[in-house]
Amino acid sequence: MRKYILLFTLFCISNHLFSQETANTNTPTPNYRLAAKFSPKNLAKLVHSTTVQPHWLENGDKFWYQYKTTTGSNYYIVDAAKGTKNKLFDNAKMAKWLTEITKDPYDAQHLPKFNFEFVKNETAIRFRVTANEEVEAESDEKESLETTDSTSTKKTKKKAPKMEKKVYFFEYKLGSSNLTIINNKKKKEEPWKKWANVSPDSTIVLFSKNYNLYWMDKENFLKAVKDEKDSTIVEHQWTKDGEQYYTYGGSERGKNNEDLEKAKEKNERQRISGFWAHDSKTFVYQRTDSRHIKDLWVINSVAKKRPTLETYKYHMAGEQEFYKNELLSFNIPSKEILKIKLDTTIQQTISVYRHQYEKNNNRKHKPTLLLSKKGKIYFNTTSRDRKKLDIHVADIKTGEVKTLINEHFNTYIENRGKKIVLFNNETEILHWSERDGWGHFYLYDASGNLKKQVTSGEYHIDSFEGINEKTRTIYFTANGVSKEQDPYYAHLYKVNLNGSGFKNLSPGDYNFNNNLSASNNYFVSNYSRVNTVPKSELRSTTGSKILDLEEADLSQLMASGYQFPEPFKVKADDGITDLYGVMYKPFNFDETKKYPLIEYVYPGPQTEAVNKSFSVSMNRTDRMAQVGFIVITLGNRGGHPARSKWYHTYGYGNLRDYGLADKKYVAEQLANKHAFIDIEKVGIFGHSGGGFMSTAAMLVYPDFFKVAVSSAGNHDNSIYNSWWSETHHGIKEEKDADGNISFKYNIDKNQTLAKNLKGKLMLVTGDVDNNVHPGSTIRMANALINANKRFDFMLLPGQRHGFGKMTEYFFWLKADYFSKHLLGVEATNVNITEINRDMPRNN
């Protein structure tokens, strides 16, 4: 009997070892070499232009553009009305001329970088080229050393002239056979642009100094253009009540305490941003009092000398204090200051509507103008709880305010990037709203009376693009009109203001990025999907295609082994809502293997981290897959605003957990469909809100998500900025018996679930992140330590929110972590060979 028991035991052990060995052979081996091949630096050599960016000219419907392929850059000029596309110049001839003149060698494929300016009624271009030849600097004054006194016999010693590279300023007449040298003067630095706010008629210049508003006339400004330190410059102080954090212009954001002190000592001029009336007689400024907002700090430990402290005002979610905003009107001729009549005791934000310049306006001087050309100030106010948005108009001379449109909702009102349009001699207003559950246009008269809902239906209008006032036709971008397509695909449409004539101007099952001409007659259409080659064409707003412009050159990318990702459509956790995602596989994919699944997440709700067009930004998706994973990105309920208001606000009141059930359920659906997905090995990573979400996933579903890398996460939203979570999670406004208003805010924090951690978690933050403060990550770490959990933590020295120059290092940090805990292979080499391999060793 013992013999049989022993044999059975040996059989079980051998079977277990065999199963384990089989499982190991089914697990892919980390392929760092393949991931390294698609670094941002290497991709820049493989893929060049993927879209046409038109530079519209002022005369006619013409534009020029640059397009780069693996054979070099070409420059084209397109006449939309004639339907022609021609090279701006012949590359070979241009290379010949430049070589002959500058004595530096060029060929057709290797021309210098051009910055064109069209001149002479757009019949010629001007540009500068810097040669390698060194000449005596124009500014050198050949100063000599002075003697100590008049009797000294010490000889003076002349300084060697300062040398600099020679600059050629060229003009090329289109179609001609030569280049003309205008002069050899280099483009002068213009430091005044950092501080001078020049009126539309160029007669007066405003700026800030020591927190107050100053001005100078044109004559003195021209002196400052020549020499800012000219002692004869006359400047005038307009205000005297400015102080730190209640200023008239200037900015202290991103500056450490030492730099601020130096700037104060130098009495530096700084910029004041505001809105000019079109006639230059009035300047409108939004002044914000943040003196009562509490300070926040970061310390740069790797500063050049001693560690530096950076102090800044930062309003955190749920704090009772709020920024106090006011609108001021400065009368330029009389120098009077008028305060627009608003109740500044109400906690609200103010946004002034601005004039939009035509796309073919290429003038260098384009100051920020008020929307109205008739001396009115159109603006909106949004309540602290973001549930009320009111559109107003103010009289620029009296300060009287009239409310035109009221928007109230039980969740937040979406207002990012949305504007009103004035037309018909400012007697009509076009306004965007989600009041019926979808983003649509509404037509009002100048007094705020609703005339008509222009568009309607279960689709989302994303942006206003243009208007033809004669035909009363508007042009706009919208999502979800066709129920047969991914609802995120954007198209250009037109419709008449009476609701008739609705038409898709960019048909096709693609995501479109369109650029409409100033005349509204033509547009450049760039289109692709994540799994197609990007193409560009010129189309007419009548609906016809005029020209094929470009098709991206992906030849070298494909030769490197690249393969397109795969879009997919699944159901949300409710079994009803359609969700859309993209799957990225290793380019050496083997369907017989079992791959760990990794989700890259960003919760929104202002956007979703799911590409809809072809992109070469692979660091977070395609490239991570090459290590040996299936990587997916997908939307979730409560994500992207380009769908219904219901979808967008699904997570209102539950900002931590709202997307997690969808993330889990989608992974399970994909594993059921694809045998190559190992559902027992699911990882997750994300940055910022994605750092918040990925850690939450590990704690809410600890038996499902096994590994996470969470970077720059706002794990504790009570110390994050008030806009994001107060908007998308909600804050409650309460009034007591005496009418006093207070605000109550409560949101689930990741650290309260620290005890739930079972898998492997790495937390990463930059130590000078002044967006999501590193304290949020440190609080998460503290909670995990108090819960006696093992985890990993990395602080990136001197890095802001985006990790800057350490982005590549961070990629391999993630790759190492997922390789170790999902593939069972740990990188033990001290050197990150994948970074070092491509670095020249000059020292």
| CA–CA gap between residue 370 and residue 377 (Å, rounded) | 7
Q: Mapped to the 3 state alphabet, what secondary structure does 308-366 carry?
A: EEEEEECCECCCCCCCEEEEEEEECCCCCEEECCCCCCCCEEEEECECCCCCCCCCCCC
Residue 238 neighbours by CB under 8 Å, 6+ apart: 212, 213, 214, 215, 248, 330, 335, 337
pLDDT at position 274 is 97
Rounded to an integer, the average pLDDT of 259-283 is 89
Q: Name the pTM for this structure.
A: 0.92
Q: Which residue has the tokens 């450049």?
A: 524
Query: Is 827 a residue whose pLDDT tops 80?
Result: yes
Closest CA to 784 of 773, 796, 793: 793
H-only helix segments in 199-352? 218-226, 257-266
Closest CA to 94 of 187, 185, 186, 175: 175
Q: Which two tokens stand for residue 633?
A: 């990105």
Question: What CATH number does domain 27-45+563-836 carry, 1.10.10.10, 3.40.190.10, 2.60.40.10, 3.40.50.1820?
Answer: 3.40.50.1820
Beta partners for residue 382, in sequence order? 349, 389
Rounded to an integer, the average pLDDT of 132-148 is 63
% of the chain at pLDDT higher than 70: 94
pLDDT at position 841 is 76
pLDDT at position 187 is 86
| CA–CA gap between residue 676 and residue 630 (Å, rounded) | 9
> C-alpha distances in angstroms, 128 versus 63, 65, 181, 763?
21, 18, 10, 48
- 83 by DSSP, 3-state: which? coil
pLDDT at position 304 is 86
pLDDT tens, position by position, 477-532: 999 999 999 999 999 999 999 999 999 999 999 999 999 999 999 999 999 999 99
pLDDT at position 617 is 86
> C-alpha distances in angstroms, 717 versus 173, 637, 676, 722?
59, 20, 38, 8
CATH number of the 196-270+272-416 domain = 2.140.10.30
- 754 by DSSP, 3-state: which? helix
Q: Using an 8 Å Cβ cutoff, are 212 and 196 in contact?
A: no
pLDDT band at 21 (very low <50, low <70, confident <90, very high): very low
Domain ranges of the chain: 27-45+563-836, 55-138+162-191, 196-270+272-416, 417-553
Rounded to an integer, the average pLDDT of 656-676 is 97
Closest CA to 539 of 478, 493, 596: 493
pLDDT tens, position by position, 191-207: 888 999 999 999 999 99
Closest CA to 642 of 606, 609, 596, 667: 606
Which of 463-477, 521-535, 597-611, 755-769 bottoms out in mean pLDDT, i.e. has the lowest? 597-611
Q: Using an 8 Å Cβ cutoff, are 164 and 137 in contact?
A: yes
Query: Is 15 a residue whose pLDDT tops 90?
Result: no
Q: Counting every residue, how long is the chain?
A: 843
Higher pLDDT, 263 or 476: 476
Closest CA to 594 of 672, 674, 650: 674
Query: What count of other Cβ atoms lies within 10 Å of the Cβ of residue 728?
Result: 25
| CA–CA gap between residue 291 and residue 324 (Å, rounded) | 9
C-alpha angle 658-661-663 in degrees, rounded to nearest 5: 100
| CA–CA gap between residue 27 and residue 596 (Å, rounded) | 8
Ramachandran angles phi, psi of 213, nearest 5°: -90, 130
pLDDT band at 58 (very low <50, low <70, confident <90, very high): very high
pLDDT at position 23 is 46
pLDDT tens, position by position, 220-249: 999 999 999 899 999 999 999 999 999 999
Q: Which residue has the tokens 């008030």?
A: 722
753-766: b (≥16 Cβ within 10 Å) or e: bbeebebbbbbbbb
Average pLDDT along the chain: 92
- Homologous superfamily of domain range 417-553: TolB, C-terminal domain (2.120.10.30)
| CA–CA gap between residue 628 and residue 720 (Å, rounded) | 35
Closest CA to 543 of 526, 571, 521, 562: 521
Q: Which two tokens stand for residue 481?
A: 């009109």
- 276 by DSSP, 3-state: which? strand
